[in-house]
Structure 1
Amino acid sequence: MNSEFTIAVHSLALLANLPDRMATSDMIAHNVCTHPARVRKVMAMLRKQGYVGAKEGIGGGFFLNCDPSQVTLGEIYLLTSLGSVKPGWCSGDVEQDCMIACNIASVMDSIFSAAERQMIEYFNQWTIQDVLAEVNKEQQRKLVVVIKLH
C-alpha cells in the first residue's frame, strides 16, 4: 500500500472535522506531516473524483464535497492504491526448465490479488465518518488518562 492512501484518508477526515472551513494544502501537509506538493497531488485525485472541491486564490483551499458517512476506505484505496499490494516478481524466466521459476509469478500474482480483494472488502466496511468517530474516541480516551494522572 502506498502513502497516498493514508494521506487521502487523513485529509478527508481532517476536512470532515472542519465542516465550515477550508484547509490549504500547507495546512493539510502540516497536519499529515508531509510536503504540500504531495498533498496537492492526492487532493487533485480526490477533487477529480468529486470527494473534495477547491477554491483558488486568497482565502482559498480545499473543502469536503461529499458526505463522509458515504465514502468508504475501499473507494479511497481503489482510487489511490489499487495494485500496490502486489509486488513485482523478477524470479525466473518462462522459458526456463525450472517449474518454480516458470510459474511462481502468476501464482503469486493470483495470491496477492485475492488478498487485495479481501482487504478492499474490509475497507468497504469503514467510512471516513467511522474513522473520524474512532479518532474522537481515541482523543477522549487520552483525555481520561490525562485527567486520571492529575
Structure 2
Amino acid sequence: MMNSDFALAVHSLILLIYSSENMETSKSMAESMKVHPVRVRKILSLLRKNGYIESKEGVKGGFRLKLSPDKISLNDIYRLTSKNTLKPKCHSCNCEIGANIEDVLDLIFYKAEEKVEEFLEEYTIQDVFNILKGGSK
C-alpha cells in the first residue's frame, strides 16, 4: 500500500502553484493539509533536496517551486516518495512455499510497479492543477 507521502508531496506542489507570487511557509501548508508541520517539513525537505522547490529563510521566507509544474511528472514524485511500496511484506516460515513466495511476489509486484510508473509518467503536476481547476489533462 502506498504511503501518504506521495499525496502530501503532490498537495504541497499544488499549493505552491496557487501561491506562486509569494513564498509559502511549512506552517501554513500544514494547516491547509491538516497534518503536523513536521510531516510537511519532511516532504518539503525531500522536494528541495531533489531540486523541485527552493526555500528562503527569514521573515518573508518560505518555499516556492523551482521547476515548472509541467516538468514534474507524478512518476517523479512517486519514485521520490513511494518506490517499492506496492511490494507486499512476506512473513517468514520454513515450508517450501514460504521459502520461495517472496521471490515470486517480488517479480510480480516489480512488473506491477513498472506499469504504475508508466501510467504516472503521463501526468504532470500541471495536469493535476488543471484538473483541480475544472479542466482536463
- Where on the TM-score scale, by shorter chain, does this alignment land: which range? over 0.9
- TM-score w.r.t. the length of structure 1 is 0.85
Match of 1:72 in 2: 73
Cα distance in structure 2, aligned partners of 1:105 and 1:92: 11
Of residues 96, 119, 134 in structure 2, which corresponds to 1:122?
Answer: 119
Q: How many residues align?
A: 134
**Quick check: 1:104 aligned with 2:101?**
yes
Tell me the amino acid that sits aligned with residue 107 of structure 2.
S
Cα distance in structure 1, aligned partners of 2:51 and 2:114: 24
* Alpha-carbon offset, residue 24 of structure 1: 0.4
- TM-score w.r.t. the length of structure 2 is 0.93
DSSP 3-state at the match of 2:91:
coil
**Quick check: 1:46 aligned with 2:43?**
no
Cα distance in structure 2, aligned partners of 1:105 and 1:50: 35
Cα distance in structure 2, aligned partners of 1:116 and 1:33: 29
Matched-pair identity in % = 43
RMSD: 1.2
Unaligned 5+ segments in structure 1 are 139-150
Following TM superposition, the consecutive aligned residue runs of length 4 or more in structure 1 with deviations greater than 4 angstroms are: none
1:1-150, aligned counterparts within 5 Å?
1-93=2-94, 96=95, 98=96, 100-137=97-134
Cα distance in structure 1, aligned partners of 2:32 and 2:120: 23
Tell me the amino acid that sits aligned with residue 108 of structure 1.
L
* Alpha-carbon offset, residue 27 of structure 1: 0.9
DSSP 3-state at the match of 1:15:
helix
Tell me the amino acid that sits aligned with residue 39 of structure 1.
V
Tell me the amino acid that sits aligned with residue 123 of structure 2.
W
* Alpha-carbon offset, residue 109 of structure 1: 1.1
* Alpha-carbon offset, residue 19 of structure 1: 1.4
Cα distance in structure 2, aligned partners of 1:115 and 1:92: 25
Which shows bigger deviation, 108-117 or 126-135? 108-117
* Alpha-carbon offset, residue 78 of structure 1: 0.4
Cα distance in structure 2, aligned partners of 1:52 and 1:117: 26
Cα distance in structure 1, aligned partners of 2:54 and 2:134: 28
